[in-house]
Structure formats: C-alpha cells, structure tokens
C-alpha cells in the first residue's frame, strides 16, 4: 500500500528523466546498460527515456540499438545517431536537443556507470533542489574496480592538483555520471569547448563559476569489461593542458 502511494506521487509530480547515452563501438555493452536502465527505472517508477547517440560505430552498435528500440518501445528508446565520430561534447548538445525530460542523466554506455545509482541521484537532487548532481569515486562509499596502483596514483594526484589549483565545489571532476536540470546542462554545454576528460572537468568548473548548486553521490566505477577505451593516447598531457587553460580562464 505504502509503495503504491509513493509511485503514484512520483508519477504525479511530472518529472521526466532523459538519459543520454553516447556510444561508439559499444555493441556488447549497449544492450546490457539499457537492460539495467529499464530495470532500475522500472523499480523506482520514475518517468524516463533513453536517448542513444551513436556516432556511426563501425561495429554495428546502431543495429543493436534498433533491436532494443523494438523490444522496449519507441517512447522509451530514442535513436539520434550521427553519421560520423564527432566527439562527446557535441554528442551531448545533439542529445539534449531531442530530450523531452526536464532532467538529464549523462553516463557512459560502457557499464562503468551502474544504473543502480540513479535513484540515489534523483533523491539527492530533490533533497537540495540541486542544479546538478555529480557521481563521485572519491568520497564515502565511492570507489573503483580494476585499477592498478599506477592508475590510482595518477587519478588521485591529478585530482589533488586540480583541487589545489581550481578549488571546485566537487570532489570528482573527471567523472561523467551526472544528473542535470535540463536548462542547466544546455547552458553549460554551450560554454564548454574542451575534449575528453577535460570536458567533464570544464562542465563542473563552469558550473561553480555560474553559481550552480552541486550535490554529490558516491558511486562505484567498474572498469569496462567489453570494448576499447576511446579517450586513450596522451591523456595526461592533454589533462594538464586543459587544467592550465581552466586555471587561467575561470
């Protein structure tokens, strides 16, 4: 009885959550992440849609996405593909344009971000009417799986340096599991120019600059099981460059 009341109230308040899933060669991960999203949104009773933004993946991700759409319905799974790989930043801009929710979830499609945290994000957001809620690997029960000592050291070191230089009001700047009010995301994403990891960092640093309120939810980050990392290469160098640019401009 009590639970029926809750879900009724949730439906009445009219909030809708659009989940943006940018994909590039995520054929194996996409069905799994969508399955988990459907599971947890189904359990919590929130209204939602999943927007898949595939950038012409050569591995046939889009074809899998079409199958998922057939299984779960066109009102739940929206496909907004682009012809070629244009990067994450513009993928979000593209996705937001088609979002019908008043809240937007941004997460990776590679299963590093687990949908089980979604209800916690939503609850946190309501608690303080936050403009954005950011998942954090560095606080509370947050953490990682599959990282060796070297990667932990780099991650913690980079995070410390960033905290010292930028004093952002968030503990995890490069994480990309976040919940935004739609207009906040639209406003932020227009201002951000960086690529890769730095893009996520710029989003939250500009959020501080614009006096948006930020809540945090501890999350566990499990390294991708399937597929390859796309951000690779000289990550550290571009991170430091991006950090210095933000240091000088925000």
Partner 1 sequence: MTKLLQWLLGVSLLVAVWALVTWDLLDLSLPDTYRDVAWPMPLYLLVSFGCYSLATVGYRVATFNDCEDAALELQQQIKEAKDDLKRKGLKM
Ligand X SMILES: Nc1nc2c(ncn2[C@@H]2O[C@H](COP(=O)(O)OP(=O)(O)OP(=O)(O)O)[C@@H](O)[C@H]2O)c(=O)[nH]1
Q: Which residues bind partner 1 (CB under 8 A)?
A: 27-28, 31-32, 35-36, 64, 67-68, 71, 111, 114, 138, 141-147, 149, 152-153, 155-157, 159-160, 164-167, 220-222, 225, 246-250
Length of the chain in terms of residues written: 250
Half-sphere exposure of 6 (CA within 13 A, CB side): 8
For residue 84, give the DSSP letter.
S
Half-sphere exposure of 23 (CA within 13 A, CB side): 35
The residue among 64 and 78 lying less far from partner 1, judged by its C-beta, is: 64
Residue among 112, 122, 66 nearest 230 (CA): 112
> Any contact of residue 125 with ligand X (CB under 6 A)?
no
Identified binder of ligand X from the candidate list 19, 22, 180, 200, rule CB under 6 A: 22
The residue among 62 and 166 lying less far from ligand X, judged by its C-beta, is: 62
The residue among 55 and 108 lying less far from Mg ion, judged by its C-beta, is: 108
- Binding site partner of 2, from Mg ion, ligand X, partner 1, none, Cβ cut-off 5-8 A by kind: none
**At CB < 8 A and 24+ separation, what contacts does 183-188 make?**
184/131, 184/132, 184/212, 185/92, 185/96, 185/104, 185/106, 185/132, 186/96, 188/212
Residue among 150, 146, 108, 148 nearest 225 (CA): 146
**Positions 37 through 76 that interact with ligand X (CB under 6 A):** 53, 55
> Any contact of residue 88 with ligand X (CB under 6 A)?
yes
Residues that bind ligand X (CB under 6 A): 22-24, 26, 53, 55, 85, 87-88, 91, 108-110, 112, 224, 229-231
């Amino acid at each position: 009885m009590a639970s029926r009341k809750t879900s009724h109230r949730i439906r009445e308040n009219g909030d809708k959550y659009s989940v943006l899933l940018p994909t590039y060669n995520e054929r194996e991960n996409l069905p799994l992440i969508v399955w988990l999203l459907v599971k947890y949104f189904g359990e919590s009773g929130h209204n939602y849609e999943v927007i898949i933004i595939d950038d012409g993946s050569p591995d046939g991700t889009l074809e899998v996405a079409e199958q998922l759409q057939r299984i779960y319905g066109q009102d739940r799974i929206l496909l907004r593909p682009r012809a070629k790989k244009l990067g994450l930043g513009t993928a979000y801009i593209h996705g937001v344009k088609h979002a019908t929710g008043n809240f937007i979830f941004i997460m990776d499609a590679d299963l590093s971000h687990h949908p089980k945290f979604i209800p916690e994000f939503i609850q946190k957001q309501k608690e303080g009417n936050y403009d954005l809620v950011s998942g954090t690997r560095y606080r509370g029960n947050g953490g990682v799986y599959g990282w060796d000592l070297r990667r932990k050291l780099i991650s913690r070191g980079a995070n410390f340096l960033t905290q010292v230089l930028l004093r952002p009001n968030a503990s995890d700047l490069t994480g990309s599991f976040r919940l935004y009010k739609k207009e906040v995301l639209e406003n932020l994403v227009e201002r951000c120019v960086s690529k890769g990891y730095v893009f996520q960092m710029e989003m939250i640093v500009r959020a501080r600059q614009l006096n948006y309120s930020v809540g945090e939810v501890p999350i566990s980050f499990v390294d991708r099981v399937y597929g390859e990392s796309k951000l690779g290469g000289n990550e550290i160098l571009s991170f430091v460059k991006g950090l210095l640019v933000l240091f000088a401009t925000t």
